[in-house]
Chain A
Amino acid sequence: MSNDPKEPLLLDHNYDGIQELDNNLPRWWVWLFYITIIYAAVYLVYFHVTHTGNLSAAEYDQEMKVGNEIKAAAMGKFESSIPTLTPSTNAVVLDSGRQTYAKFCAPCHRADGGGLVGPNLTDSYWIHGSNFTDNVTVIWNGVPAKGMITWKKVLKPDEICSVASYIYTLRGAKLATPGKPPENQTPVNNGPSQFE
């Protein structure tokens, strides 16, 4: 049936009227196929025969090393800047501090700061010092032996600053129900609260 001069490549196939040509494979297509096959071979050899490439676990360790260095540097920088910090009065910062407090601190220090497992944060008695920077230090490092969590593992430095600034505003707050009484803490001059 291949008698049509315009279709020299027509095969003598006929299925329900469908015919087929016998064109060559497009060259670029053939190359595309070859290239992917070669790539596959090289890839498998590189990772699984010569073990030149890093597989997931090694890749992860590498990523962790780099990431943790960056993080450690940032944390070190923050740590050394703690003595110079001052409480923020910015409304946005205080609001985010309030949210952090409600989520992470209220279970131990009570929603209003009156104290439960953790000490009262509204009175004038402080175990670890009354300065703002003392508070930041305690939150940053925690007191694991006494049940205060080491928050630097959970919160970012700026979150710690904002939650510290927030509890600073709680100082001297009038509580609806009495707060936890001070234990063997020493009273200190608190410095003014925002509400005084």
Chain B
Amino acid sequence: MGLTTSKEYAELEWPIKIAIAIVWVAFAVNLFGTIVKRREKHMYVAIWFYIATVVTVAVLHITNSMTMPAGWFKSYSMYAGVQDALVQWWYGHNAVAFFLTTPYLGLMYYFLPKAANRPIFSYRLSIIHFWALIFLYIWAGPHHLLYTALPDWAQSLGMVFSLMLIAPSWGGMLNGLLTLRGVWDKVRQDPVLKFMVVAVTAYGMATLEGPVMAIKTVNSLSHYTDWTIAHAHGGALGWNGFLTFSMLYYLFPRLYKTNLWSTKLANYHFWLGLLGMMFYIIPIYVAGITEGLMWKQFNKDGFLQYPNFLETIIQVVPMFRLRAIGGMLYILGVLMMAYNLYRTAKAGKFESDTEAQAAPLEKTPAVAHGKLSWHRMLEGKPMFFTVLAIVSILVGGLVEIIPMFLVRENVPTIASVHPYTPLEVLGRDIYIREGCLGCHSQMIRPFRSETERYGEYSKAGEFIYDHPFLWGSERKGPDLAREGGKYPAAWHYNHMDDPRSVSPGSIMPRYSWLLTQNLETDTLPWKLSALRRIGVPYPAGYENGPAQKDLQEQAEKVVADLKLGGVNTDPNKEIIALIGYLQRLGTDIKSAPVTTAAK
């Protein structure tokens, strides 16, 4: 449908964003209400993680959703370019952390000791790794933007904080695995524990791999390749998937007061899931590293070995097929589980109300264990605890984000960079609507392998009118940051109609409807005034008449260019706006020298 803001993990348009915020707040009220009212005096470690989740996700969602509506289903990010990128990845990184990591750690802290019937290995470790984790995590966002136009200091912070995260993350894994000391024989038999062990191990692997990928040298190879995707899926399929399966296998028999219908089937699911995961992840690792190496390969004469991007992507297509097989195996396992659980539910009887037993109001003061008792006390003060958690998660974000907005040196101005013309704005919206940035980046990194291929590397000052930023995070096609003027207009026309007609073997889909659909220009005034309100210097009143005239003129020019290449079309087609936008990309600094980036 094309309703998207283009921001990863935050694509939804603004009415939906507001709805999400309302639901989340309702959830938070419920959670805190329960915590405050209940009679249990201390909060168990699982609750700490839930609290961190609720408050952090709220902060992230609200900050990153700041958009200027331009109609019901269209809006522009309040932030532009480098700043938008930083906010987005502060959000993106931590949305993963506080939506897929901390709540799952909370769940692990409940289900693992329950299923294993063992006490948690170390209360101290819980305390230290919890606070370290939530404090440090927030800082690591910029590791998604290494070697981009983001200022160096922010990149460095992203890198070193990612490295410091290894130990706190592993604290969770260790506390899980060491809790199983003494019951490893049980692990071998019980599918619930088996799934759990793999989940916790996958968590450990992913949280080691993440920081490794945040090392700039590694990242220079891995970024924009399928390696990133392999990393994300290792975490999602292994940690989140397997922990979920294990919880379901634990819960169903208890909810329905019976035994699991088939332990054997659960074991098959386990092995199938594991196999599926291997088939899914290993090929894309291979693909990712292959892509990275081929993009960077120079021959002995100092020329790119594979100057044609297509060559590199065709190389890895078979890997994507294997990946699909892996995904199917994994889903097959899930179906087996669903059947198993269904049979379990049918065999038993749902226990609708278990006898609730209110915890006795305990009077014991928190003195027992000398040096850590202050934390014990904290566990009895949920609101104070929450405030401390909020403070810890805010520090990192504030230190990184505020200077990026206030210190001008971070985004050196380039005099020749101008706002997008009306036609280009509409073309850019089509680029967003069609999801081009899923496969194309717009960020040339400062490596010779990239500048030889794409042209001068991208500068922070080039993006000041980019609401939202469109740097992308993956390359399935070449970078487009300097696409403007690389090919004649007619080339683009034919390429969008059928990529294979001008670039044999291309894996890009056809977008032939752009050639026939009429360009919607009615919303232009809304769009331009929304953009002006967030800082793009269109003159007052520009949107009312002059803008439409400029749009027509530029469209006619594109039509004339197309005619040179033997293509005849009308100026009111969507393709015209898209070509206008593509031909503009990256051309601003071709016309004037750049003020050197501040060190």
Binding site for B on A (CB under 8 A): 7, 10-13, 15-26, 29, 32-33, 36-37, 39-40, 43-44, 47-48, 51, 55-57, 59-60, 63-64, 67-75, 156-157
Contacts and interface: CB of A to CB of B under 8 A. Distances in A.
B502 to A, nearest CB: 9
Chain A's interface: helix, strand, loop or mixed, by majority?
Answer: helix
A7 B119 CA distance: 9
Interface in B151-170: 152-153, 155-157, 159-161, 163-164, 166-168, 170
A47 B120 CA distance: 42
A59 B446 contact: yes
Q: Which 9 A-B pairs have the closest CB atoms?
A: A71-B302, A74-B301, A40-B160, A33-B167, A70-B302, A60-B446, A19-B119, A23-B122, A15-B44
Interface in B444-488: 446-448, 451-452, 457
Contact of A22 (B124, B155, B178, B303): B124
A56 B147 contact: yes
Interface of B: 40, 42, 44, 110, 113-114, 119-126, 128, 132, 147, 152-153, 155-157, 159-161, 163-164, 166-168, 170-171, 174, 178, 298, 300-303, 307, 364, 368-369, 446-448, 451-452, 457, 596-597, 599
Given A7-B119, A64-B451, 16 more contacts: A11-B123, A12-B368, A15-B42, A15-B44, A18-B44, A18-B110, A18-B113, A20-B120, A21-B123, A24-B122, A36-B164, A39-B160, A55-B599, A56-B147, A56-B155, A60-B451
Given A11-B368, A59-B446, A68-B302, A22 B599 contact: no
13 contacts: A13-B42, A17-B114, A18-B120, A21-B122, A23-B178, A36-B163, A40-B163, A55-B599, A56-B152, A57-B446, A60-B446, A60-B457, A63-B447
A57 B161 CA distance: 22
A18 B120 CA distance: 8
A30 B364 CA distance: 32
A108 to B, nearest CB: 12
Nearest to A63: B448
Contacts of A40: 160-161, 163-164
Nearest to B457: A60
A25 B128 contact: yes
A22 B167 contact: no
Given A7-B119, A39-B160, A40-B164, A23 B44 contact: no
Nearest to A61: B446
B501 to A, nearest CB: 13
A47 B152 contact: yes
B301 A23 contact: no
B302 A74 contact: yes
A15 B44 CA distance: 7
B119 A10 contact: yes
Contacts of A10: 119
Residue among B163, B303, B307, B451 with the highest chain A CB neighbour number at 10 A: B303
Contacts of B123: 11, 13, 20-22
A65 B302 CA distance: 11
Nearest to A41: B160
Contact of A23 (B125, B368, B597): B125
Nearest to A58: B599
B447 A44 contact: no
Nearest to A37: B164
B164 A26 contact: no
**Which interface residue of B122, B178, B368 has the most chain A CB atoms within 10 A?**
B122
Nearest to A74: B301
Contacts of B166: 32, 36
Nearest to B301: A74
Given A29-B171, A70-B302, A55 B152 contact: yes
Given A56-B147, A71-B302, A19 B163 contact: no
A157 B156 contact: no
A19 B179 CA distance: 11
Contacts of B451: 60, 64
Nearest to B109: A18
B302 A23 contact: no
B245 to A, nearest CB: 21
B167 A32 contact: yes
B114 A18 contact: yes
A36 B170 CA distance: 13
B187 to A, nearest CB: 18
B153 A71 contact: no
Given A11-B369, A63-B447, A71-B301, A21 B167 contact: no
A153 to B, nearest CB: 11
Contacts of A36: 163-164, 166-167
Contacts of B110: 16, 18
B446 A71 contact: no
Contact of B303 (A16, A20, A71): A71
Nearest to B372: A22
A25 B122 contact: yes
Contacts of A29: 125, 167, 170-171, 174
Given A20-B123, A21-B119, A29-B171, A60 B447 contact: yes
B374 to A, nearest CB: 15
Residue of B119, B128, B302 with most partner-chain A CB within 10 A: B119
Contacts of A55: 152, 599
Contact of B160 (A11, A44, A64): A44
Contacts of B303: 71, 74, 156
Contacts of B448: 60, 63-64, 67
Nearest to A57: B597
A156 B300 CA distance: 12
A156 B304 CA distance: 9
A6 B446 CA distance: 60
A72 B451 CA distance: 16
A143 to B, nearest CB: 22
Contacts of A63: 447-448
Contacts of A26: 125, 174, 178
A180 to B, nearest CB: 19
Contacts of B447: 60, 63
Given A36-B167, A70-B301, A43 B156 contact: yes
B503 to A, nearest CB: 10
A157 B307 CA distance: 14
Contacts of B125: 23, 25-26, 29
Nearest to A2: B368
Contacts of A15: 40, 42, 44
Given A55-B599, A60-B446, A23 B164 contact: no
A69 B160 CA distance: 34
Nearest to B565: A107
Contacts of A57: 446, 596-597, 599
Interface centre among B114, B125, B166, B307 (most CB of A within 10 A): B125
